[in-house]
Amino acid sequence: MHFVIVGALPQSLTNFRGELISDICSLGHRVTAISAPASEEEIAAIGALGAQFHPIPLERNSLNPRSDLNSLMALRRAYRTLAPDVVLAYTIKPVIWSGLALRSSRSQARFFSLVTGLGYAFEGEGMKRRGLRAIVTALYRQALKRADAVIFQNADNRDVFVSRRIVSLQKCRIVNGSGVDTERFAVAPMPQDGTHFLLIARLLGEKGVREYAAAARDVRARHPSATFHLVGPPDSSPDGIPLTEVRGWHDGGVLVYHGAATDVRPFIAGCNVNVLPSYHEGMPRSVLEAMAMGRPILTTDVPGCRETVVPGQNGWLVPRGDARSLAERMEWFITHRQQWSAMGSASRDIAVQRFDVHAIVAEMMRIMSIEGAKSSH
């Protein structure tokens, strides 16, 4: 069986789908990974999983119709050439253009889409977003007519698609996010030299980065020894936060910005509390990784995030966009050090029981009816 997996960025193929790719290859199937062009190192990492790499022109945040048409046509050519038996696409553009490419071709491949979050178009108001939402909704409807199943990472996202008549409930399946490797993200001792908060996120407004900075400024006025760390790359999305703004917080002593990181484990090990004030998520991988390493969680009461926290047991939930509530809970952690250990242990237990990557990959493969191959080709 020839399995094709389509993502927007090459590094996401290894970071988020690596275990799935490796497991499918181990069963004797052929796997081709498709995304925007990759570096030699990224291609080697995909090859190490057992897959081949096929680049296409794809600009994740572009609103240029010509660019998107190029992506659609490149996928049509790829599906004709590769002749896949199964296609799995994830994130907005790969899902839409794969569904449309398969519909307009003669491919008999089974098609599965993985919705990892609603994204920019479905969150927030304003004329631009409403217009974009209408376009994306129409495209999704057409693309997902071709889908054998649509896989969501939380029930709220599924309900949005069903209520907007993008897809029927009968086609929907739910898995607990992308999962976390609980062996690689092993429990790390809790630092005892102060109170260290950590946010790992792309530099986007809707990740709650500005609320994090505002809360950090507020809390540091009363607890100057507390430290606030930020790890993550810039993003070209319309919602991206300029690096000059982030460096202003860093230079002003509000927080410590570490830039992007290929391995976040040392940063998680160095924190006491993991924070994600996001406005919306499919299922936040950075939070799952912090939970696996035994850290309390402070996140927002929004789809995706709320599934990671049992309030008072392994962390707290706060309203989205509310820097004051965020600061209040940060102060709670500062004044309740004695509860960190128990909350961290509860996070680890939840990560192992609900979000282990091996169980989630097994469920994905069950949904797609991927079994051992009698022969590979």
Domain containing residue 290: CATH number: 3.40.50.2000
* Residue 147 counted as domain residue: yes
Average pLDDT per 10 consecutive residues for the chain, totaling 377 residues: 96 94 96 97 97 93 83 95 96 95 89 88 72 90 96 94 96 95 96 95 96 98 97 91 97 97 97 97 95 98 95 97 98 97 98 96 94 48
Local structure of 318: helix, strand or coil: strand
Q: Which amino acid is at 83?
A: A
Q: Distance (Å, rounded) from C-alpha 104 to C-alpha 77?
A: 11
Number of domains composing the chain: 2
* Residue 187 counted as domain residue: no
* Residue 185 counted as domain residue: no
Same domain, 92 and 170: yes
* Residue 188 counted as domain residue: no
Same domain, 159 and 224: no
**Residue 241 structural domain:** 196-354
Same domain, 156 and 228: no
Same domain, 298 and 170: no
* Residue 156 counted as domain residue: yes
Q: What is the pLDDT of residue 361?
A: 95
Q: What is the pLDDT of residue 372?
A: 63
What phi and psi values does residue 36 have, to the nearest 5 degrees?
-60, 160
Taking the alpha carbons at both ends of the chain, their separation in whole angstroms is: 7
Q: What is the pLDDT of residue 375?
A: 37
Same domain, 113 and 168: yes
**Strand residues in 220-362 grouped as ranges (E):** 227-231, 256-257, 273-276, 297-300, 315-318
Same domain, 38 and 142: yes
Q: What is the pLDDT of residue 170?
A: 97
Burial of 250 (0-12, 13-18, 19+ CB in 10 A): middle
* Residue 372 counted as domain residue: no
**Which residues, at least 6 apart from 314, have a Cβ–Cβ distance to it below 8 Å?**
291, 296, 297, 343, 344, 346, 347, 350
Element (H, E) at 38: none
Q: What is the pLDDT of residue 124?
A: 64
Same domain, 46 and 149: yes
**Strand residues in the chain grouped as ranges (E):** 2-6, 30-35, 52-55, 86-90, 110-115, 149-152, 172-174, 196-200, 227-231, 256-257, 273-276, 297-300, 315-318
Same domain, 347 and 363: no
Same domain, 33 and 172: yes
Q: Look up the pTM and report it.
A: 0.88
* Residue 106 counted as domain residue: yes
Cβ proximity of 222 and 195 under 8 Å:
no
* Residue 35 counted as domain residue: yes
Same domain, 241 and 166: no
Same domain, 317 and 341: yes
Same domain, 220 and 339: yes
Q: Please, what's the largest Cα pairwise distance for the chain?
A: 65
Q: Distance (Å, rounded) from C-alpha 267 to C-alpha 188?
A: 11
Question: Residue for token digits 């089974």?
Answer: 110
